[in-house]
Amino acid sequence: MKVAIIGQGYVGLTISAFAGEYFEVVGFDNNQRIVDQLNNGISHIEGVESSQLANLVKSGSYSASTVGSDIADADLVVIAVPTPLSKDRQPDLTFIEAACKTIGENVTKSVLVINESTSFPGTLRNYIKPAIERYSNRPLEHLYAISPERVDPGRGDFNQKNTPRLYAGLTSEASAKTRDFYSKFCDQLVEVSSPEVAEAAKLFENTFRQVNIALVNEFAQIAHSLGISVYETLDAANTKPYGFMKFTPSAGVGGHCIPVDPTYLAATAEKHGAPATFIRRANEVNLEMSKYVVDRVQADNGGSLQGKSVLVVGVAYKPNVADVRETAAELVIEHLRKRGAVVSWHDDVVKSWNGESSSLLSGADIALVITKHDDVKERDILASAPYVFDTTGKVAGAKGL
């Protein structure tokens, strides 16, 4: 069976690697540079080793392409493209629209189309299916299903194989064929009653995390005002064996899920006349943490950052990955520069970002830790500046939240 996977980023390439062990896979992506890398057996993401990819390419079970006609004879198509927010922070289905266009214009026979991209309830039924049919000039009867991705980049204990996977089809036949596909490389499949349930569940999973992160970020501010350690207090609360789940404070949230998915849920709720006040406020709290962090640093440094050199340590959105999407470091740096600070950044994983290169971990007046990768030693961070403020709770001896 030939499987076409639209999008070869963190989600699409991961699925390609697992599916490539059982099927012929063609990975479609619009980025020619990435496609050339992939066809040379070079992975561009954490979670897929280049050695594994090279073996799949060599065996002929995986190839990448920017040419739509290369998916023409696929038996199954997976959509795995980004679903970001627009400039006015509304759901943006531009990439899904492009994927539907690629499928509709090129696939020449009836296939199963599975959407893995995160989106609001109703996307599969009311958007993807009509869009593919609109772009196709062939009388085809595609099957449609949803199985939302649950990729957590950089995580070693859970992956595509051992993470339970939700799925649902628009028809029972679509559900059955979806189960047959994923059962080859997923240990646990959970069928739900409709695509809308699966879509909503994925959004709620990440909204749950966003809300709890906002709660602990607000509590960090309360703890500081009371003169107590937020970390000790959280550890104390965590001794309760039930009814409590520990989250830790930070400079904000980042990545492709937590800052984005709750907005998809809130937008859908409001469209249907339901309240999303709590979700919206949680997003605001997390965005406001960047200003709070800079306020703390400024207060500790004579009330002014004008002309001071500030080294932001870690600009990736989470430890041990090179992903900078929606990183909290961006807002932090913006606030620092507005206050006259001379800002540079250091990241052992991210080498270039926003047209700038990673600086040396030394020579600053102030070091502000946003993300701490495992390979970065605490003593090197502490030696990089006479004043170090740590938002991660991982640098002993530094000032912190």
Residue type, 131: A
In three-state secondary structure terms, 303 is coil
401 in Cβ contact with 251 (< 8 Å): no
- Dist CA 34 CA 269 (whole Å): 37
29 in Cβ contact with 35 (< 8 Å): yes
- Dist CA 371 CA 354 (whole Å): 17
- The CA-atom distances, in angstroms, between 175 and each of 75, 104, 182, 189, 245 are 15, 21, 11, 11, 34
Strand 143-146 to 165-169 pairing: antiparallel
Closest CA to 151 of 137, 161, 143, 142: 161
CB atoms within 10 A of CB 34: 20
131 in Cβ contact with 104 (< 8 Å): yes
257 is catalytic: yes
Residue 49: burial class (beta carbons within 10 Å; 0-12, 13-18, 19+): exposed
In three-state secondary structure terms, 352 is strand
- Dist CA 152 CA 371 (whole Å): 16
The one catalytic residue among 257, 312, 332, 341: 257
- Dist CA 5 CA 257 (whole Å): 20
Catalytic residues: 257
